[in-house]
Structure 1
Amino acid sequence: MDMNMDIHTLRKLVARDGTRSFLETLDIHTGERTVRKTFDVVIEAPNWTRDGRRLVYNSQGRMHAFELATGEVSAIDTGFATDCNNDHVLSPDNTQLAISHFTNEDAASRIYTLPLGGGAPVLVTPQGPSYLHGWSPDGARLAYCAERGGQYDIYTIGVHGGPETRLTDTPGLDDGPEYSPDGRSIWFNSTRSGLMQLWRMDADGGNPTHMVQEDANGWFPHVSPDGQWVAYVAYGKDDVAPGDHPPDKWVELRVVPASGGVSRTLVKLFGGQGTLNVNSWAPDSRTLAFVSYERMG
């Protein structure tokens, strides 16, 4: 993100005018794909609530909840945070929402928490840019990608703020950190091997392991609630630079056993940025929510 970009320019960039969005769900075993709702604006990154009833997503800088049973959409009050991006997660007990919001003073993303039902955001990361991706199962820490001194690495911080802990320092981009359900590991994606690939490390940053080695650029590993599967977005090797994850590309949703092994393509779609940035697994560990797109006109 260009740190010299003002907030008005940033809003135009993320709006992607002329794009239609399809909020979809997918059964990873049968391959059944269901369009839940169509929007004539960009929506991104659905989180599935623990009760299985709602999907929480961002659109036009705001947060929204979609009721799966009725198709009803309701706004979530995020107070002054009206430039939310697609890096948001729910607390393990589903009482809190953590968001990444582009602050007006420098258009840099910072992390905040607020009640899931809406309320005043509380700042967690004074430094920006910080892009949220994971919440520890015990509710105590947040994991995020942050740029500090010109280098993007993975950090964690207490849910109420305080000193941040740097977990990676390898040259290249490290992004997308997400805790395993047992809290012992953090999955992430990294360009350290050349292409963007999926890695796993201990929760304290130790023992980094290259988990998925394939001829593609893999982004945003999401671990199923039962800890058995990891879903992610794959860009073609020659379609993007390894450190880039743009919208409006043909991509694949893939799944791989959490123990490692060969990945399996679930679906091909027009998307990329916004499709699966955050954990979108249903509580049943069988169904994924995601967003596909279409350029109108």
Structure 2
Amino acid sequence: MAGRSRLMIYDFEEGHAFPVLETEREISAPNWTPDGTALLVNGEGSLYWVDLDAPELLEIDTGLCLRLNNDHGITPDGETLLFSDHTFGEGAVIWRMALGEEEADPQRVTAKSPSWFHGVSPDGTTICYTAVREGLFGIYTAALDGTGESCVIEGAHHYDGPDFSADGEWLWFNSDRTGASELWRVRRDGSGLERMTDDALVNWFPHPSPDGEKVVYLAYPEGTVGHPADMHVSLRLWRAETGQTETLVEITGGQGTINVPSWSPDGVAFAYVDHV
């Protein structure tokens, strides 16, 4: 990690970003809570709440799951926490845990590994995630309890970073299926595949806004392989009205900056992590 981690919020009404919390610890991948009062971040294998009124890292007890990566989220009703963990030596597995219950234990969601959680449908019934099955990367969906696992799209290339559109009908994701990583979307039944960006940048982790009008994503310099940390990257915006893209901020970041959905519930802002 380069220097200190900063938890940031980009406010579209203000037209700029401002810091929420700065720490010597390596934090990453913020989510907003459904009530808009706090952010959830990963920090060195654990999860933390950050209250926006009094920002500090407050650790969440995740039971025997002790090696969480930066793939996590909260259901729209605020009742369930989902995360990926690789404590038990078989690769990443998705778990869920009831929030607001002092003695709640995590319950395993995905029977197979590796599975990396990425998002929850707007109606709160379905998760989307990246998985490797029989040697192939793919985008998958399942019910909150892991039943009904379904492959939306897979192939010999890399598929990652799925997130639901605001209407729940589409899954946005990134893939290098035509060369460098670009943004794509596909219907939940696997039909209607569309390429959404086509430029020299290496584009990852698209996150549609709650109003369906915008998508924020991470862009690496041309030629970048994978999604490394501590690079000069940009956070960019795709507008549904025009299909055009623009740069919002340029930062030091990458892996952990916006891996998971990070829009505020009202769609006015999104959170991210950079390093200084």
Compute the TM-score of the two structures, normalised by the length of structure 1.
Answer: 0.88
Asked if 1:217 is matched to 2:217, the reply is: no
Residue in 1 aligned with 2:98? 115
Work out whether residues 222 and 280 of structure 1, in 8 Å CA contact, stay in contact via their aligned partners in 2. Answer: yes
Residue in 2 aligned with 1:186? 171
Calculate the aligned-residue CA RMSD, in Å.
Answer: 1.5
Q: Tell me which amino acid in the other structure corresponds to 1:74.
A: L
Q: List gaps (5 residues or longer) in structure 2.
A: none
Does the C-alpha gap of structure 1 residues 237 and 117 become closer, same or farther in structure 2, counting only changes over 3 Å?
farther
The C-alpha deviation readout for 1:256-287, integer Å capped at 9, x for no partner, is 11356121100000010000001111122121
Query: For 1:229-244, what aligned pairs fall within 5 Å after superposition?
Result: 229-238=214-223, 240-241=224-225, 244=226
Q: Tell me which amino acid in the other structure corresponds to 1:88.
A: H
The C-alpha deviation readout for 1:44-90, integer Å capped at 9, x for no partner, is 11101122110001112111100111113322111111111111111
Residue number among 158, 177, 183 corresponding to 1:198 in the alignment: 183
Asked if 1:127 is matched to 2:112, the reply is: yes
Shift, 1:149, TM fit: 1.8
CA distance in 1, matches of 2:222, 2:45: 31
Work out whether residues 131 and 138 of structure 2, in 8 Å CA contact, stay in contact via their aligned partners in 1. Answer: yes
Q: Tell me which amino acid in the other structure corresponds to 1:165.
A: S
Which stretch shifts more, 181-190 or 245-254?
Answer: 181-190
CA distance in 2, matches of 1:91, 1:77: 18
Query: What is the aligned residue count?
Result: 274
Compute the TM-score of the two structures, normalised by the length of structure 2.
Answer: 0.95
Q: Tell me which amino acid in the other structure corresponds to 1:76.
A: I
Query: For 1:126-145, what aligned pairs fall within 5 Å after superposition?
Result: 126-145=111-130
Work out whether residues 280 and 288 of structure 1, in 8 Å CA contact, stay in contact via their aligned partners in 2. Answer: yes
Residue in 1 aligned with 2:75? 91
Work out whether residues 22 and 35 of structure 1, in 8 Å CA contact, stay in contact via their aligned partners in 2. Answer: yes
Residue number among 27, 31, 53 corresponding to 1:69 in the alignment: 53
Q: Tell me which amino acid in the other structure corresponds to 2:110.
A: T
Query: For 1:1-297, what aligned pairs fall within 5 Å after superposition?
Result: 19-106=3-90, 108-117=91-100, 119-238=104-223, 240-241=224-225, 244-258=226-240, 261-294=243-276
CA distance in 2, matches of 1:30, 1:53: 19
Work out whether residues 219 and 234 of structure 1, in 8 Å CA contact, stay in contact via their aligned partners in 2. Answer: yes
Work out whether residues 46 and 290 of structure 1, in 8 Å CA contact, stay in contact via their aligned partners in 2. Answer: yes
The C-alpha deviation readout for 1:4-62, integer Å capped at 9, x for no partner, is xxxxxxxxxxxx5x742011111235432211111111101110112211000111211
The C-alpha deviation readout for 1:150-190, integer Å capped at 9, x for no partner, is 21111111111224211113331111111112111111111
Percentage of pairs with the same residue: 39
CA distance in 1, matches of 2:152, 2:85: 23
Work out whether residues 76 and 117 of structure 1, in 8 Å CA contact, stay in contact via their aligned partners in 2. Answer: no
Residue in 2 aligned with 1:3? none
Work out whether residues 77 and 117 of structure 1, in 8 Å CA contact, stay in contact via their aligned partners in 2. Answer: no
CA distance in 2, matches of 1:82, 1:260: 44
The C-alpha deviation readout for 1:106-162, integer Å capped at 9, x for no partner, is 3x1100111234631110112111111111122221110011122111111111122
Work out whether residues 52 and 283 of structure 1, in 8 Å CA contact, stay in contact via their aligned partners in 2. Answer: yes
